[in-house]
Amino acid sequence: MSKSTAAAVVRAFCKAWEDRDVEAILATLDDAVVFQNVPAPAVHGLAATRDFILPIIRETIAIDFELLALAVNEHGDTVLTERLDRLHYPSGVVEIPVMGVFVVRNETIVEWRDYSDFASIGEAFKRVGVSLGSA
Protein backbone atom coordinates (compact mmCIF):
# COMPACT_ATOMS: atom_id res chain seq x y z
CA MET A 1 0.00 0.00 0.00
CA SER A 2 1.39 3.41 -0.92
CA LYS A 3 1.79 6.33 1.45
CA SER A 4 -0.82 8.29 -0.47
CA THR A 5 -3.33 5.43 -0.10
CA ALA A 6 -2.92 5.40 3.69
CA ALA A 7 -3.28 9.19 3.81
CA ALA A 8 -6.37 9.02 1.58
CA VAL A 9 -8.04 6.51 3.93
CA VAL A 10 -7.50 8.81 6.92
CA ARG A 11 -8.69 11.85 4.97
CA ALA A 12 -11.82 9.88 4.01
CA PHE A 13 -12.32 9.02 7.70
CA CYS A 14 -12.10 12.73 8.62
CA LYS A 15 -14.41 13.76 5.77
CA ALA A 16 -16.98 11.15 6.83
CA TRP A 17 -16.96 12.71 10.35
CA GLU A 18 -17.49 16.15 8.77
CA ASP A 19 -20.36 14.67 6.74
CA ARG A 20 -21.69 13.16 10.00
CA ASP A 21 -22.13 9.94 8.04
CA VAL A 22 -21.81 7.01 10.45
CA GLU A 23 -21.81 4.34 7.73
CA ALA A 24 -19.11 6.20 5.79
CA ILE A 25 -16.99 6.48 8.97
CA LEU A 26 -17.43 2.76 9.68
CA ALA A 27 -16.59 1.92 6.04
CA THR A 28 -13.05 3.26 6.64
CA LEU A 29 -12.60 0.99 9.68
CA ASP A 30 -11.69 -2.69 9.74
CA ASP A 31 -14.15 -5.13 11.36
CA ALA A 32 -11.47 -5.86 13.98
CA VAL A 33 -10.51 -2.20 14.50
CA VAL A 34 -8.97 -1.37 17.87
CA PHE A 35 -9.94 2.14 18.99
CA GLN A 36 -8.36 3.78 22.00
CA ASN A 37 -9.05 7.19 23.47
CA VAL A 38 -5.72 7.14 25.35
CA PRO A 39 -5.42 6.56 28.31
CA ALA A 40 -8.89 4.96 28.44
CA PRO A 41 -8.95 1.23 27.73
CA ALA A 42 -9.03 0.15 24.09
CA VAL A 43 -12.35 -0.69 22.46
CA HIS A 44 -12.33 -3.75 20.19
CA GLY A 45 -14.32 -4.21 17.01
CA LEU A 46 -16.65 -2.24 14.81
CA ALA A 47 -19.77 -2.60 16.98
CA ALA A 48 -18.12 -1.15 20.10
CA THR A 49 -16.49 1.61 18.05
CA ARG A 50 -19.87 2.43 16.51
CA ASP A 51 -21.28 2.80 20.03
CA PHE A 52 -18.67 5.50 20.66
CA ILE A 53 -19.26 7.32 17.37
CA LEU A 54 -23.05 7.16 17.08
CA PRO A 55 -24.11 9.45 19.98
CA ILE A 56 -21.65 12.12 18.83
CA ILE A 57 -23.03 12.08 15.29
CA ARG A 58 -26.62 11.97 16.51
CA GLU A 59 -26.36 14.87 18.97
CA THR A 60 -24.19 17.26 16.91
CA ILE A 61 -25.48 19.60 14.22
CA ALA A 62 -22.09 19.99 12.52
CA ILE A 63 -18.54 18.66 12.87
CA ASP A 64 -15.17 20.01 11.69
CA PHE A 65 -12.01 17.95 11.83
CA GLU A 66 -9.37 20.59 11.12
CA LEU A 67 -6.21 18.76 10.06
CA LEU A 68 -3.34 20.87 11.42
CA ALA A 69 -0.79 18.28 10.28
CA LEU A 70 -0.82 14.85 8.67
CA ALA A 71 2.17 12.59 8.05
CA VAL A 72 2.67 9.00 6.90
CA ASN A 73 5.51 6.90 8.30
CA GLU A 74 8.26 5.34 6.15
CA HIS A 75 6.50 1.97 5.91
CA GLY A 76 3.43 3.73 4.52
CA ASP A 77 1.07 2.00 6.95
CA THR A 78 0.77 4.49 9.81
CA VAL A 79 -0.73 7.96 9.57
CA LEU A 80 -0.21 10.51 12.33
CA THR A 81 -2.44 13.56 12.65
CA GLU A 82 -2.62 16.75 14.66
CA ARG A 83 -6.22 17.95 14.63
CA LEU A 84 -8.61 20.45 16.07
CA ASP A 85 -11.92 18.59 16.22
CA ARG A 86 -14.95 20.85 16.63
CA LEU A 87 -18.24 19.30 17.67
CA HIS A 88 -21.10 21.73 17.12
CA TYR A 89 -24.05 21.06 19.43
CA PRO A 90 -27.24 23.11 19.45
CA SER A 91 -26.04 24.53 22.79
CA GLY A 92 -22.48 25.38 21.68
CA VAL A 93 -19.21 24.14 20.26
CA VAL A 94 -16.79 21.70 21.89
CA GLU A 95 -13.21 22.18 20.63
CA ILE A 96 -10.93 19.17 21.03
CA PRO A 97 -7.19 19.67 20.47
CA VAL A 98 -6.02 16.14 19.70
CA MET A 99 -3.40 14.04 18.01
CA GLY A 100 -4.33 10.70 16.51
CA VAL A 101 -2.52 7.71 15.04
CA PHE A 102 -4.07 5.42 12.44
CA VAL A 103 -2.64 2.09 11.32
CA VAL A 104 -3.98 1.27 7.85
CA ARG A 105 -4.01 -2.22 6.31
CA ASN A 106 -5.76 -3.25 3.07
CA GLU A 107 -7.12 0.27 2.79
CA THR A 108 -8.94 0.12 6.12
CA ILE A 109 -8.04 1.46 9.55
CA VAL A 110 -7.10 -1.38 11.90
CA GLU A 111 -5.88 0.77 14.80
CA TRP A 112 -7.00 4.26 15.82
CA ARG A 113 -5.62 5.97 18.90
CA ASP A 114 -6.41 9.55 19.93
CA TYR A 115 -4.38 11.49 22.51
CA SER A 116 -5.94 14.45 24.32
CA ASP A 117 -6.48 15.95 27.76
CA PHE A 118 -9.64 14.41 29.21
CA ALA A 119 -10.29 16.92 32.01
CA SER A 120 -10.25 20.06 29.86
CA ILE A 121 -12.36 18.36 27.17
CA GLY A 122 -14.78 17.11 29.84
CA GLU A 123 -15.11 20.73 31.02
CA ALA A 124 -15.83 21.83 27.44
CA PHE A 125 -18.61 19.23 27.15
CA LYS A 126 -19.99 20.31 30.51
CA ARG A 127 -20.09 23.96 29.37
CA VAL A 128 -22.45 23.03 26.52
CA GLY A 129 -24.42 20.67 28.74
CA VAL A 130 -23.50 17.48 26.87
CA SER A 131 -22.62 14.28 28.74
CA LEU A 132 -20.80 11.57 26.80
CA GLY A 133 -20.08 8.26 28.48
CA SER A 134 -16.78 7.49 26.84
CA ALA A 135 -15.65 10.73 25.15
Q: Do β-strands 29-38 and 108-115 pair in parallel, antiparallel, or remain unpaired? A: parallel
User: What is the number of other CB atoms lying within 10 angstroms of the CB of residue 106?
Assistant: 9
Q: Can you tell me which of 12, 99, 110, 132 binds its own copies, judged by CB under 8 A?
A: 99
- Count of residues that interact with its own copies, criterion CB under 8 A: 26
Q: Can you tell me which of 61, 91, 92, 118 binds its own copies, judged by CB under 8 A?
A: 118
Round to whole Å and give the CA distance between 93 and 90. 8
Say whether residue 71 binds its own copies (CB under 8 A): yes
Say whether residue 80 binds its own copies (CB under 8 A): yes
Nearest approach in angstroms of CB 76 to its own copies is 10
Q: Can you tell me which of 39, 58, 106, 133 binds its own copies, judged by CB under 8 A?
A: 39
Which are the contacts of 121, defined by CB distance < 8 A and separation ≥ 6? 94, 96, 135
Say whether residue 93 binds its own copies (CB under 8 A): no
Nearer Cβ to its own copies (30/100): 100
User: What is the number of other CB atoms lying within 10 angstroms of the CB of residue 109?
Assistant: 23
